[in-house]
Structure 1
Amino acid sequence: MHANIERYDSFLSSLCAPSSSTWTEAQESALLEPYTYITANPGKKVADRLVEGFNLWLNVPKDKLAVIIRVVGLLHDASLLVDDIEDDSQLRRGIPVAHKIYGVPQTINTANYIYFLAYQELSALRPIVRRRACDSSAGPDNSFRDDISVAEKPNFPKRLISNHDLDLIVNDELMSLHHGQGLDILWRDTLRCPTEDEYVQMVKDKTGGLLRIAVKLMMACATANTNVDYVPLCNLIGIYYQIRDDYMNLQNDQYTNSKGFAEDLSEGKFSFPIVHGILEQPENQLIMNVLQKRPKTPTLKHYAIEHLRNTTKSFDYTLAVLKKLEQQANRELERLGGNPMLSALLDKLHVDA
């Protein structure tokens, strides 16, 4: 018998003894490596700019704003790790995707871990609750009860979104995000082209989810304009951004360098121009057949893009839609009192014909 077997004679009692965590910094670093790999090569930081822009109106305290940016960043990067697996992507921000280096199992586990880290960070935003001894009703043990939350006192602003249900805000929007992502995958894998309205609703859920998390958390922590609803503008910007991204994926050389040439076609994705092209000529199966093939080489992709450009005029249509959405966003900015940072962001995102 092995000499060390005696260590298990009183094993249960060792489990009952209080002990500190045995988790080490080296283990934490190894677990987070797929995440640190992707975040070492930062993206366009559009979400950060949106947060800074909305904060011109909402005036969130700096410490809380830093937490919100951190939470949204964690959730965003975790979702990218999973998205790249679900889409079988090859490149992210111009470098190989994380799971091609670290493997699918480790990357999924890291992404899930990052979600929970985000919830841990979220605890810093919860309102302070004062504790005081009960008055005449106090028991012999001098028991305590919760006092009024600081945020509910009369000299604090009433908010359109309560700061008491931050976990529910994040959870609801993460569910919306997964609803949208799930439909996107379902349409792709069953080769079912959605209607344009279905596509827009999917984008509102999927792309809008993370943006709404940011804006709703800010509204819950705001010290100014606390009764103004900024969610519709947030939704509009999210839909505009995704349709623009779909257009750029098939038309822009910068996207080719970052994600590969016309990667949406390789993924079999029903993006906005592709949906329009299919619905514009439903009797023509060219685009559907190309999507089914998931082409990796340029020949079929170039042919499909030329069809969308010259036959169905899908890029012209997409640009016209983008123009309408951009105009509405700018009008809403003006109605809300103006916002130079968000106006500048829309100008930067503007796409010329």
Structure 2
Amino acid sequence: MSIHHSRTLVSDDFEAVNRLIVDKITAQSGLIDDLANHIIQSGGKRLRPLLVLLSSQACCYPGQNHIQLAAMIEIFHTATLLHDDVVDESTLRRGQQTAHGIWGSKASILVGDYLFTLYMQLLVALEDLSIMRLLSEISHQTACGEIRQLNNRHQETPSIDDYFEVIRAKTSLLFAASTASGAMLAKADDVTVQGLYAYGLHLGNAFQLIDDALDYCSDAQTLGKNIGDDLADGKATLPLLYALQHGTPLQQQHIKTSLSEGTLEYLPQILETIAATNAVAYTKTIAKQEVDHALTALEVLPNSAYKTALEDIARYALDRDH
């Protein structure tokens, strides 16, 4: 399953979003243009703007402001990626060299800051106070999630609760904002807005869980990033946490040492432990539960091609390999 059909359903609007993003960024020149375009044109799924478009149309929105809403959410997401790669010292994203690897950390941070200001300008220009309240809170929570993840790094005995709090703040809330704001733009009732918010939240959880599973069962070429990056960063994701709980004392010590020291010395042994404890299968089972919750949340919507597309995206979250 892919998201191609879902994108085709709103293809004209999707292209309008891409044009608006490019127009806003290329209004500048030099470093901003080069660096921002590098990450925007690097093959991302544009999933968040797609969710805005589908959600607004599922709620029968008749206007054009969904284009601006979708574009600014993608610009915000792009800014967070620029900062993420600096914090994580990542060298590979989506199969390409990261921006900070090409232009340096200072440039990535400053252009990320610029994109944040562009996002805020577009948000204010939308002139919708309810959406402004929602997205300003999501922006705050995203930053809190980044700080919490940084604080949690390199702990020998990390918490599963902390893990879920981080993925909620860093990933899932922006999915929820994308779907809920589309409904809010269409002036949908509270039940519908809350249903789409819940859909986005559970969908974001599922996507992150599968991302974290793939980090231990895929390869760098398919995944678009280096295998073991999370381990080297001292990030304890669910497959690792499950293996830590169910491994032998020696296996547990390998994981604890790797997390605390940020070393890949024991990566082969840890991959064997993850396989032996069925940690990836467990993670995918939890992701499936999140998808089921997301599909249930969509029951607030009347049947339509747009609702079906949202359902397809939820199922796609489980089936992808990158």
TM-score tier by shorter-chain length is 0.7 to 0.9
| Equivalent of residue 344 in structure 1, options 305, 312, 318 | 312
Q: 1:259 to 1:333 in 2, by over 3 A?
A: same
Q: 1:95 to 1:336 in 2, by over 3 A?
A: same
Cα deviation for residue 271 of structure 1 reads 1.0
Distance in 2 between residues matched to 1:63 and 1:85, nearest whole Å: 35
Cα deviation for residue 288 of structure 1 reads 1.4
Relative to the length of structure 1, the TM-score reads 0.74
Secondary structure of the 1:350 match is helix
Give the aligned partner of residue 43 of structure 2: 42
Give the aligned partner of residue 225 of structure 2: 259
Q: 1:59 to 1:302 in 2, by over 3 A?
A: farther
Give the aligned partner of residue 172 of structure 2: 208
| 1:46-75 deviations in Å (ceiling 9; x for gaps) | 223322332242233442111011111100
Give the aligned partner of residue 125 of structure 2: 124
Give the aligned partner of residue 61 of structure 2: 60
Relative to the length of structure 2, the TM-score reads 0.81
Paired residues of 2:52 and 2:179 also in contact (CA < 8 A): yes
Cα deviation for residue 327 of structure 1 reads 2.3
Q: 1:282 to 1:253 in 2, by over 3 A?
A: closer
Give the aligned partner of residue 132 of structure 2: 167
Equivalent position amino acid for 1:326 in 2: V
Give the aligned partner of residue 129 of structure 1: none
Distance in 2 between residues matched to 1:188 and 1:40, nearest whole Å: 30
Equivalent position amino acid for 2:31 in 1: A
Q: 1:27 to 1:55 in 2, by over 3 A?
A: closer
Cα deviation for residue 324 of structure 1 reads 2.0
Paired residues of 1:98 and 1:107 also in contact (CA < 8 A): yes
Paired residues of 2:156 and 2:257 also in contact (CA < 8 A): no
Give the aligned partner of residue 145 of structure 2: 180
* CA root-mean-square deviation: 2.6
Unaligned runs of 5+ in 1: 1-24, 127-162
Unaligned runs of 5+ in 2: 1-25
Paired residues of 2:50 and 2:70 also in contact (CA < 8 A): no
Identity of aligned residues (%): 23
Structure 2 residue 269 is the aligned partner of structure 1 residue 303: yes
Bigger-Rg structure (1/2): 1
Cα deviation for residue 256 of structure 1 reads 4.9
Equivalent position amino acid for 1:258 in 2: G
Q: 1:164 to 1:79 in 2, by over 3 A?
A: same
Distance in 2 between residues matched to 1:192 and 1:215, nearest whole Å: 37
Distance in 2 between residues matched to 1:218 and 1:326, nearest whole Å: 20
More helix by share: 2
Structure 2 residue 320 is the aligned partner of structure 1 residue 319: no
Give the aligned partner of residue 133 of structure 1: none
| 1:83-133 deviations in Å (ceiling 9; x for gaps) | 00111101011111111111111110110010000111123310xxxxxxx
Structure 2 residue 209 is the aligned partner of structure 1 residue 243: yes
Paired residues of 1:174 and 1:209 also in contact (CA < 8 A): no
Distance in 2 between residues matched to 1:28 and 1:185, nearest whole Å: 33
